[in-house]
Amino acid sequence: GVGSTPVTKIVATGHTEASGSITFTATADGSVVNQSTINIQMPTVQISGVATPLPITFPALPPANPALILGGTRAGTAVVSISATSNNALGTLVLSVAPGTMVAGDTIVVFGLRISPASTPGLVPPVKAQISATQDIALSVGQTDPIIVQDISDALKDVNVKGSPASVTFKATDKKGTSGDGLITVQENFAAAFQSASQVGTGATTSTNVRLTLSEIPPGLEVTFKGTVPAGTAGLGPLVGLTRTDSKGAAAGTDITFDSSDASPTVYYSINGSVDAGVIDVMKIPFTATTSIAPPLTGGRVTVAASFAPIGTAFDTDGITVLTTPLPRYAAKDVDGGQIITVGSNNTALLFTHVLNILDFNSGFAIANTTTDPDGAFGTPATRQAGAITFNFYPAASGNAISYRTKAGSPGSGLDGSGQVPSGRTYLVLLSELLKEAGAPADFQGYVIAITEFSNAHAISFVLDAGKIVQAQAALVMQDSRDPVESLKN
């Protein structure tokens, strides 16, 4: 008879996932007269029209120590051995059964095989091994496809900034050295996805890890992650903590700081201690963000994504050699998380509701950089800053939106040599001049949104008729958030 004790659930991106045990039981007394075999074949998946077997990634077959995966009353090289025709990459395990007497109730047990569902996307659970035999071994009818894995699932369900503290927010005018604490939460998708090395089991060299990847960090900002997260604060129970395992930029287990010079900043954490396999855990990873330059800061945001780790492949570079470390390992699959840091923009969005350049009519713009204040006039004065302006033109009838950013040599007056409006200056320019520089049609009627790269901008637009001002209107200063209901700050 053939039976199995399947694993309940494995990670879809795993390369070294545990599979269940398979037990072969003699149903009656008998003899094996000729050398015989029992073949255990992992299922295949069609990938681009090619039948691809689910590979066995641990241990290397045949193992130097057969007891690593072979047990039961008939185990032992004198009776049952693992054939050299076994093949990890093909997902094939061949047991060689020597001639001899079998007694009813004798067993051969195969256990401890690790498989790579990440190598066979589209593998549908339950996962069943296919069993066949040769010569003097007969398999019971209907028992040739034992289940070794009940279900397959993604490792992570949610990555976010929850609880207190959560995300960190800065103003563009915050002073150098301003800091804030945040907390990233990473929720497993099913109970026991997070595991310590001891819970991973045979062959493990580490616990399951989590890799955090940050988006580009705005200039003037530093983000620091702790080398360790003490037990009781990591969200995994009172006895379980976290340790930063990577050594990029700083020794493992020590704090690490990232800034705008780091491309795709990544940090890895491993689990210290056995996790409660009966509950869905939420890992908590704290961080600190600090401003490192004098204001103004460049507006922007930092987001986070998380993947199970260590990241690796099913086999070595040759596609067949079994890797013993790290174990476990996974194919990268990031779960996008929330926005963990926001730096308020020092931009100003100015709305000009109607401008035109038609016939004898031509609109003009006067945009003032009012970040220079009279001495003592304000309790909190503006921070002096210069910046370029991007004009976004939206035609009233048809056609695509047009954009133009000021630069060295831009038309008008009030810009410095690099195309920026210095603090305390006003930029004067005609619509016709901007349209020409943008390579746009000369005729225009519609609205314009101008984005200044400095705060505290105020402006008017005016209409010229044959060179004389016949109309003027103040620009509306738009809020950063326009949803769900826009309000204007004028």
What are 440-474's pLDDT values in tens digits? 999 999 999 999 989 899 999 999 998 899 999 99
- Rounded to the nearest 10°, the torsion over CA 67, 73, 79, 83 is -40
Identity (one letter) of the amino acid at 312? G
User: pLDDT-derived band of residue 297, with 50, 70 and 90 as boundaries?
Assistant: confident
pTM over 0.75: yes
Predicted confidence (pLDDT) per residue in 142-201, tens digit: 899 999 999 999 999 999 876 555 789 998 888 999 999 999 999 999 999 999 999 999
Residue 435 parent element (H or E): helix 431-437
Share of the chain above pLDDT 90, in %: 76
Query: Average pLDDT in the 299-320 region?
Result: 94
User: What's residue 380's pLDDT?
Assistant: 79
Question: Residue 40: is its pLDDT beyond 90?
Answer: yes
Of all helices (H) and strands (E), which one includes residue 197?
A: helix 197-200
Whose CA is closest to 117, among 198, 56, 195, 199? 56
Distance from C-alpha of 467 to C-alpha of 113, rounded to nearest angstrom: 85
Domain with CATH 2.60.290.11 in the chain: 348-478
| pLDDT score at 163 | 54
Identify the H or E element spanning 98: none
Domain 2-153: top CATH class: mainly beta
Residue 79 CA to residue 97 CA, distance in Å, equals 6
Largest CA distance in the chain: 113
With respect to CATH, is domain 156-343 assigned 2.60.40?
A: yes
Query: First-to-last CA distance in the chain?
Result: 82
What pLDDT, on a 0 to 100 scale, did the predictor assign at position 488? 59
Q: Report the distance separating Cα 246 and Cα 400, nearest Å.
A: 48
pLDDT at 54: 98
Q: State phi, psi for 231 to the nearest 5 degrees.
A: -55, 140
Name all contacts of 187-190 with Cβ < 8 Å and 24+ positions apart. 187/156, 187/157, 187/158, 187/159, 187/280, 187/281, 187/282, 187/283, 188/155, 188/156, 188/157, 188/280, 188/281, 188/282, 188/283, 189/153, 189/154, 189/155, 189/156, 189/157, 189/280, 190/9, 190/153, 190/280
Map residue 177 onto helix, strand or coil: coil
> How many whole angstroms separate alpha carbon 416 and alpha carbon 410?
10
Q: Please, what is the average pLDDT of the chain? A: 92
Displacement of CA 332 from its chain's centroid (Å) = 8
Q: Within 10 Å of residue 48's Cβ, how many Cβ atoms?
A: 5
The residue among 309 and 467 whose pLDDT is bigger is: 309
Predicted pLDDT of residue 484: 60
Residue 86 tokens read as: 């076994």
Strand pairing class (7-11; 147-153): parallel
Asked if pLDDT for residue 483 goes beyond 70, the answer is: no
Superfamily classification of domain 348-478: TM1070-like (2.60.290.11)
- CATH 2.60.40 residue ranges of the chain are 2-153, 156-343
pLDDT (mean) for 53-60: 98
- Measured at the CA of 389, the angle between CA 386 and CA 393, to 5 degrees, comes to 170
Strands (E), 161-240: 168-170, 179-188, 209-214, 221-225, 228-229
**What is the pLDDT at residue 400?**
81
Indicate if the alpha-carbon torsion angle 193, 199, 203, 208 is positive or negative: positive
Q: Which of 98-112, 233-247, 304-318 has the highest mean pLDDT?
A: 304-318
Report the pLDDT value the prediction gives residue 165, as an integer from 0 to 100. Answer: 57
Mean pLDDT of all residues in 255-282: 94
pLDDT at residue 88 tops 90: yes
What is the reported pLDDT for 486? 61
Pick from 248, 237, 306: nearest CA to 272: 237
Task: Identify whether the C-beta of residue 280 lies closer than 8 Å to the C-beta of residue 20.
Answer: no
The arithmetic mean of pLDDT across residues 383-393, rounded, is: 91
From 30-44, 110-124, 254-268, 471-485, the region with the lowest mean pLDDT: 471-485
